[in-house]
Amino acid sequence: MPKPVTWNLSAEEALKRIRGRLFATTTEVSLIFGYDPEGRTVRKAIEAGEIPFVKMGATYRVPVSWILEKAGLGGGNPA
The domain segmentation of the chain, as residue ranges, is 11-70
Q: How much of the chain exceeds pLDDT 90, in percent?
A: 61
Q: Which residue has the higher pLDDT, 54 or 8?
A: 54
DSSP secondary structure string, 26-76? HHHHHHHHT--TT-HHHHHHHHTTSS--EEETTEEEEEHHHHHHHTTS-S-
Q: What is the mean pLDDT of residues 38-60?
A: 94
Does the pLDDT at position 60 exceed 90?
Answer: yes
The pLDDT, as a whole number, for residue 75 is 55
Indicate the pLDDT class of residue 79, thresholds 50, 70 and 90.
Answer: very low
